Structure 1
């Protein structure tokens, strides 16, 4: 049975996912935007090139058995999961999907700030003692993550690293 707990630290709340596979905080990949017909085996087949997979599952409606269009892949090690999400929009079964490390959620993207419209001030989404959010590079890492684990999450051969 999977459980989830959260802890707060200087970087904010994190969800540590424990399952029959242990702590999956750095190894569980969320995959959304799947074609309705994509089976769990199809998900496994797409991601097995990145490393050993402990589980690949497409989430289905309990009553109808129909896919909900998303699933999860749990890798044996964090490095494989990091490689799997380097392309955040893979094509799986002919459809563009989206994926990210499940515990971190999708990368934050900058919100466009237009000038026209109804006037008034633009309200900032952060307070005086909170850092601005919205950069695609603003991931929150669990405080117990070691530097090698963090490096595995952000390793990118296209940038020489």
Structure 2
């Protein structure tokens, strides 16, 4: 093989379709765009437009509310943590927090924190540093000789009454 004989495989480079080159080409005149109107021109995006009629998304009432302050937690059962300890993935002596659970492969990403649930049996003596835990989960952990550290809840800020107008 010589350098001047190098070429792509057959069909690797398709030549573009040359539209609008006369009626004999098969894609001339309107160039495959149909006839007339807004859609035959370039740069058209009219999704949801109903020809002047009030569009469906404006006829229907608004519903729901998305709380911008809502939090999304990783809910993990104590049985999954016990299984990770039994498999040797999680250190039974250290503190269990989001980073330790990610390293052990119990969770994929921390989200807004970890919340413990009391599903299944639990017998390891561990210290947990998590965002939340159910009462039953805390009871099981303390019964096994462990402890749970939860973040302190902040008191809501009280608004002052507006001043009276003179």
TM-score above 0.5:
no
> Whose helix fraction is larger, Structure 1's or Structure 2's?
2
> Whose strand fraction is larger, Structure 1's or Structure 2's?
1
TM-score normalised by length of structure 2: 0.19
TM-score normalised by length of structure 1: 0.20
Q: Greater Rg, structure 1 or structure 2?
A: 2
Larger relative contact order (CA 8 Å, sep ≥ 6): 1
